[in-house]
Structure 1
Amino acid sequence: MENKSDAVLADPPPLNAGRRAVHETARLCLGYLVLVGVSLTVSLLAILMRPLLPRVLSRRWGRVLVAASFRSYLRLLVFMGACRFDLTALDALQAGPAVIIAPNHPSLLDAIMILSRLPNATCIMKADIVNNVFFGAGARLVGYIRNTPLRTMVQLAVADLSQGNSLLLFPEGTRTRRLPVERMQGTTSLISKFAGVPVQTIFIETDSKFLGKGWSLLWTPKMPVTYRVRLGKCFEPASDTAHFTAELEHYFHAELKRTPSSSAAVSSPLA
C-alpha cells in the first residue's frame, strides 16, 4: 500500500515540452520588460539627481544605485528560474587597487553581472549605448566613458584610473562571434601603458549562447541559463603594446579552450 507521506513528498511531474516552452517564453518576456523598467527608472532618477547634487556625490550615489538595480535584476532572473549565477569571485576586487578589468564577452548580460558587484568600476561603453534613451542618462550620471573618439576615451580612462577607480573594458571590443575569443584590440594595452596599471583578466563561462552575438531577442533559450565568473591572471602594466595584446589574446585562447563555456557549472543560485 502506498505511503501517503511519500506521495506528498514526491517530486512534481516534469513539464511537457509544450508547457515548458510557454513558461520559458513568459520568463523571457518578463525579463526583458523588467530590464526596460529598471533602465528607465535609473535614467529618471539620474535626471533628477544630476542637477540637485554636487558632481562627486551624484556620481558616487549613482553608481551605488546602478549596482543595486543590476543586482536586484539578477536576483529576479534567479527567482523566475531563468538564470543561475556565481559571481562571488568578483568580490575580491572590491577593495583592491585600481586595475583594468578585462573579461571575455559572451553575452549582453556581462557588464550587468560585473557592475552589480563592483559599483566603483568605470565602464567603457559604446557611444550609441551612452546616447540610448534607456541607458544614457544613468551612464552619464555615473561617469561611464564613450568608446569614441579613441584619443578622448584613452585620456578619460587614464584620468579615471589615476583617481583610484577600476576600469571595465572588454578587450575584444564586441561580443564574441568566433569561439573561444575574438581578436583582441590594442585599447587595453594602450590604457594600461599610459596609466601604469595592471590588467586583471576575468573569464565568464556559460552553458548557452543566449544574448550572444547573432542571438535574436525573439529566441528563447533553454532555462535556467548558467553563468560563472572566475578571476584569471593579473598582468603587469603594459610596456610594449603590440606584444602585450598578443600575449593577452594567447592567454584567453588557452584558458577558454581549457575550460569550455559549455562546461560551466553554478553551485549556488546567486552567490
Structure 2
Amino acid sequence: MLDRLRLITAWFTSLLYWVIGGTGFGLLCLLLPLLFCRDRARAIGQWAVQMAFRGFLGVLRFFDIVECEYVGFEKLRIQTGGIIVAPNHPALWDAVFVLAEVDHMACVLKASLMCNPILFGGATAAGFIPNEPTHKMLRQCIETLKKGERLLLFPEGTRTRPEHGRLNPFQGGLAVVAKNSGAPVWPVYVETNSRYLNKGWSLWHLPTEKVRLRMTVGEPLRFPEQGEAQPFIDELRQRYLLALESPAA
C-alpha cells in the first residue's frame, strides 16, 4: 500500500509544477511568434513541452508513483518524414509519456483542453491541434504530416470506456488522415496494471498501488492504394486487441 502522505505530497508538488509551468508556457506562446518564424517557433515549443513532460515524469518517479517501460521506441526516433504515432488510450496521462519520449511531435487533443489555463500556453506553443471542428482538425493533421512532421493521434478518440473492454471503437478520422497524407500509422500498445486516471476516474482519487505502464511500438501500417476506410480501421484495431491480450505485469 502506498503511503498516503507521500501521495498527497506528490499530488500537490505536481499541481505546483504545472501552475508554474503553465504560466511560463503562457509567456512562451506569446514570445515565440515574435522572435521566430512559425515553423521554428513550433519546433521550439514542442521541445519545451517535451522537456516539461520529462520533468513531470521525473517528479512522479521521485515519489515512486509510476514506472514506465518503453519497448521499441528507437524505431520511432529514427523515422524521417511524416508519421502517425497512434497509442490506445487507457488513462489521462498517456500523451505525456509518449510526448516525453518522442521528439518534435504535434498532438491532437480535446478542444476543451485548449481553454485550460495550465495547458493552453504549451499546447499553443507546440502547435497542438484541437479535435473540433472535425473538418479543420483533419485538414491540419494532413498538412502537418505532408510537411514531414510527426503527429500523435489516439485512434479511440477518447480514453477507453469500461463498457468497451480493452478498446473503444476506432474513429474513422484516422483512416482519412492516413489515406490523404500517405503517412504510416505506428501503433503503440499501452498496457497498465492500474485503473488510475481511466475514464471516469477522478483526479482527486489517488492510486492505492504503484502504477506500472508498458508502451510497445508495433509494426507500421499504411493505408492501401484503392483501399477502404473501414477495413483499414478494422485491421488496425485487431492488431491492438491481439497485442493487448496479456496485461502488463
Same fold (TM over 0.5): yes
Q: Secondary structure at the match of 2:91?
A: coil
Contact 1:125 1:144 in 2 (8 A): yes
Give the number of aligned pairs.
244
**Alignment match of 1:224 (pick from 210, 220, 226):** 210
Note the residue ranges of structure 1 that are not aligned, 5 or more in a row: 1-16, 265-271
**Alignment match of 1:214 (pick from 197, 200, 215):** 200
Q: Secondary structure at the match of 1:129?
A: helix
Structure 2 CA distance for aligned equivalents of residues 162 and 68 of structure 1: 26
> Cα deviation per residue 1:122-173 (whole Å; 9 max; x = unaligned)?
1111111123221122212221111112221111111111111121100000
| Pairing of 1:73-152 with structure 2 (within 5 A) | 73-87=56-70, 89-97=72-80, 98-152=82-136
> Cα deviation per residue 1:207-240 (whole Å; 9 max; x = unaligned)?
1111110111111102421112111231122421
1:29 deviates by 3.0
Please say if 1:253 is aligned against 2:241.
yes
Structure 2 CA distance for aligned equivalents of residues 52 and 204 of structure 1: 38
Structure 2 CA distance for aligned equivalents of residues 90 and 40 of structure 1: 31
Structure 2 CA distance for aligned equivalents of residues 59 and 226 of structure 1: 32
**Alignment match of 2:189 (pick from 197, 203, 225):** 203
Note the residue ranges of structure 2 that are not aligned, 5 or more in a row: none
Structure 1 CA distance for aligned equivalents of residues 208 and 20 of structure 2: 24
Q: Letter of the aligned partner of 1:152 in structure 2?
A: K
Q: Secondary structure at the match of 1:81?
A: coil
Contact 1:158 1:194 in 2 (8 A): yes
Structure 1 CA distance for aligned equivalents of residues 159 and 179 of structure 2: 24
Q: C-alpha root-mean-square deviation of aligned residues, in Å?
A: 1.8
> Cα deviation per residue 1:177-222 (whole Å; 9 max; x = unaligned)?
1321111111111110111121110011111111110111111102
Q: Secondary structure at the match of 1:204?
A: strand
Structure 2 CA distance for aligned equivalents of residues 132 and 20 of structure 1: 30
Q: Letter of the aligned partner of 1:44 in structure 2?
A: L
Give the TM-score normalised by structure 1: 0.84
Contact 1:24 1:222 in 2 (8 A): no
1:51 deviates by 2.2
Structure 2 CA distance for aligned equivalents of residues 38 and 223 of structure 1: 27
**Alignment match of 1:43 (pick from 26, 46, 57):** 26
1:175 deviates by 0.4
Q: Secondary structure at the match of 2:73?
A: helix
1:88 deviates by 5.4
**Alignment match of 2:3 (pick from 7, 10, 20):** 20
Give the TM-score normalised by structure 2: 0.91
Structure 2 CA distance for aligned equivalents of residues 34 and 88 of structure 1: 28
